Amino acid sequence: MIRFFLASVLLACSSIVYAQYSPVSSHNQKGKVFVYWGWNRASYTQSNIHFKGQEYDFTLKSVVAKDRPTHFTARYFNPSKMTIPQYNFRIGYFISPEFSLSFGFDHMKYVMKQDQIVNITGQISGSGTEYDRAYQNEPIELTGDFLKFEHTNGLNYLNIELRRMHNLLDERKLRVKNIELNIFEGAGVGILYPKTDVTLLNFEENDQWHIAGYGMNLVGGLNVTFFKHFFIQAEMKGGYINMPDILTTNFPQDRASQHFFFFQGNTNLGLIFKL
């Protein structure tokens, strides 16, 4: 929660700084295409998770989860293994000198903290386990034989964003040979397409790709472009995710639902060019 608050403050500061500048005509991006690949760290607020099926109907309250970053190795740059770490991909087009419209794929990973103690309300029956009974807002430990809950392949956020980019050096009438310094901000909406890994009681899991819900976000950051075509970009991205239709077990009617806020810190490498 603290991380998300800090992210909100930083995004707000970015907006204030951005508002102090006005674009100049010498930096015209219209007609340019950009594409980038990068990596993220993510954090999430606590969430209530509701599980409903033929044998159960219960809610776990204030569940804690974290991301699962891959150790930094050569696989980050190996084309056959680049999708294993938490990554970001985006391609976009500048529809005006300042504004771009883009499509992106944010591959986050969401892992419920195992063995945490949360409160449970609802009922479980017919599972043939020690958990078969009614619950009324009482503590339960999320052990492996009760629940494992992960969006690790992953918490996939497919989104469209409208961004505004502005060159700081142009505004200050500064020139650095072969280097551009840009700030940007934007907003986006999209869908969540996770492959969820769930072990619930003794039921067989259903880990199929599935449209589980929707999200919306704000984004801001700094872009450094070299020789007009290559750039490094640092982003702060925060938003809201609501997934009312998460697959859990192999019973077709079984579902889970949750909603929470997320924050990403992203580092990207990219290309920009004119068609």
pLDDT of residue 6: 43
pLDDT of residue 24: 40
Residues whose CB is less than 8 angstroms from the CB of residue 214 and which lie 6 or more positions away in sequence, other chains included? 189, 190, 191, 192, 241, 242
Local confidence pLDDT in tens for the 275 residues of the chain: 444 434 443 444 444 344 343 444 446 889 999 999 999 999 999 999 999 998 899 999 999 999 998 887 777 778 878 788 899 999 999 999 999 999 999 999 999 999 999 999 999 998 889 999 999 999 999 999 999 999 998 999 999 999 999 888 765 555 677 888 999 999 999 999 999 999 999 888 878 899 999 999 999 999 999 998 999 999 999 999 999 999 999 888 999 999 999 999 999 999 999 98
User: What string of DSSP letters covers 178-244?
Assistant: TEEEEEEEEEEEEEE--B-EEEETTBPB---B---EEEEEEEEEEEEEETTTEEEEEEEEEEEEEEE
Q: DSSP code of 72? A: -
Q: Are 86 and 41 in contact (CB under 8 A)?
A: yes
Q: What is the dihedral of CA 198, 200, 205, 210, to 10 degrees?
A: -50
pLDDT of residue 174: 59
- How far apart CA 246 and CA 155 sit, in angstroms, is 11
Tokens read off for 43: 């954090």
Inter-CA distances, 162 with 184, 188, 243, 273, Å: 10, 6, 23, 19
Q: What is the dihedral of CA 58, 59, 65, 67, to 10 degrees?
A: 60
